[in-house]
Amino acid sequence: MRAWAVVENGAPLQEIELPTPEPKGTEVLIEVTHCGVCHSDIHIWEGSYDIGGGRKISLKDRGVVLPLAMGHEIVGRVAKLGPDAKGVAIGDRRIVFPWVGCGTCAKCLAEEDNMCLTPRSIGVYQHGGYATHVLAPHPRHLVDPGALDPAVAATYACSGITVSSAIRKVMPLPPDEPVVVVGAGGLGMNAIAVLKALGHANIVVVDVSAEKRAAALTAGATTAVDGTGEAVAREIMAACGGPVGAIIDLVNGTASARFSFDALRKGGKLVQVGLFGGELMLPLPLMAIRALTVQGSYVGNPKELRELVRLAKERKLSPLPVTMVPQREANAALMRLRDGKVTGRIVLRAEAA
């Protein structure tokens, strides 16, 4: 199979040939037709995460092996079945759930694969959708998109379920109570769509880009706040009519975490999703006195993906704006994302799609 792979961290992706996987047991070989380009791919390409204080986590030390075809927002056609794979047929179009684990632990058996302690995530620990083929470990990791636009459906496998899982961590809330979404990129636009699908009517978006703030308002955000400057927390509270009960930080850098925390009301919750990097110093007495919650949220699980696709099929979910480019332009697409020049999502399209 062909792949557009990270061969050296920080260097341009290279087109290489890799052995096409042969499905065994319950595995399913998928011919990739569409694959989203996610900001997580930037960190994998760079080879590390910034954890603040001048420290970084090496992805090599966490088990990422090069060369690697990244890409975890995948839609494709079933190309070949392992002998024990049931429930799908050759030619079926499917969304691939990428956050797979060992397949045998209690979390995996409960369909909470993203919480497995030995992750095997597609596009991270094994080759993903920046390639012509990808291997799904089990048919339960495949979701039928029906008549949905496959380019939009691909984004549900990461951007969609990531924000859906985070939103559910702050619910239930009255529809008119503000929910603050920090970041109006691909995740932020999907967050607006999911909140609207759940009937939420007061969505405040924060972003440093005027273009992305405008796009968020067009997509249905109630208010947009400029994320630059020293008074962002005050501006968030002004937009919300006071301190806030629910903030979802899709950037999750030092600055965004700080102003998000500072804008919380008593009993408020900050859900941290993004991987921009840095650190947050917490005033410990205030955590108790104000009963605050700071919670991480890591992608989502297959149950959440199926529920999200159901909402989309019922036309309750507005589609994320996508820009399609050929797979062979994967490196250029990744650089556009790195440089902050993407509104919505870039999706790589196979030549035969």
pLDDT of residue 305: 98
The amino acid sitting at 328 is R
Domain boundary among 280, 296, 312: 296
- Sorted by sequence, the CB contacts under 8 Å of residue 19 that are 6+ apart come out as 1
Residue 163, domain member (yes or no): no
Residue 305 CB neighbours (<10 A): 27
Q: Looking at the structure, tell me whether residues 194 and 233 fall in a common domain.
A: yes
Task: Report d(CA 351, CA 36) in Å as an integer.
Answer: 15
As for how many domains the chain has, the answer is 2
Please report, as a single letter, which amino acid is at residue 140.
R
pLDDT on residue 146: 97
How confident is the chain (353 residues) per 10-residue block, as mean pLDDT? 98 98 98 96 95 91 96 98 98 98 97 97 98 98 98 96 97 97 94 96 97 96 97 98 98 97 98 95 96 98 97 92 96 96 94 77
Q: Are residues 253 and 334 in the same domain?
A: no
Count other Cβ atoms within 10 Å, centred on residue 321.
15
Domain CATH number, residue 190? 3.40.50.720
* Alpha-carbon span 14 to 1, nearest angstrom: 14
Clarify whether residues 139 and 192 are in a common domain: no
Strand segments, DSSP code E, in the chain are 2-5, 14-17, 28-37, 48-52, 55-58, 73-81, 93-96, 133-136, 142-143, 179-182, 203-207, 223-226, 244-249, 264-272, 293-296, 322-326, 345-349
Question: Is 198 in the same domain as 268?
Answer: yes
- 187, part of any domain: yes
**348-351: long-range contacts (C-beta < 8 A, 24 or more apart)?**
348/34, 348/35, 348/36, 348/37, 348/71, 348/129, 348/130, 348/324, 349/33, 349/34, 349/151, 349/324, 349/325, 350/31, 350/32, 350/33, 350/34, 350/132, 351/326, 351/327
Taking a C-beta distance cutoff of 8 angstroms, is the pair 344, 36 a contact? no
- Examine the domain organization and report whether 214 and 74 are in the same domain: no
Same domain flag for 154 and 176? no
165 in a structural domain: no
DSSP string, 56-81: EEETTTTT--SSB----EEEEEEEEE
Same domain, 65 and 40: yes
Q: Looking at the domain assignment, is residue 225 inside a domain?
A: yes
Same domain, 130 and 212: no
CA distance 141 to 145: 13
Length of the chain: 353
Question: Does any domain span residue 207?
Answer: yes
Q: Which of 154, 188, 153 is nearest to 274 (CA)?
A: 188
pLDDT of residue 309: 97
- Establish if 139 belongs to a structural domain: yes
Domain assignment of residue 44, yes or no:
yes
CATH of the domain at 328: 3.90.180.10
Same domain, 233 and 311: no
Report yes or no on 164 lying in a domain.
no
- Rounded distance, CA 144 to CA 240, Å? 39
pLDDT score at 352: 74
Please give the residue range of the domain that contains residue 237. 170-296
- Same domain, residue pair 268 and 315: no
The answer to whether residues 115 and 20 belong to one domain is yes
Residues 60 and 32 in one domain: yes
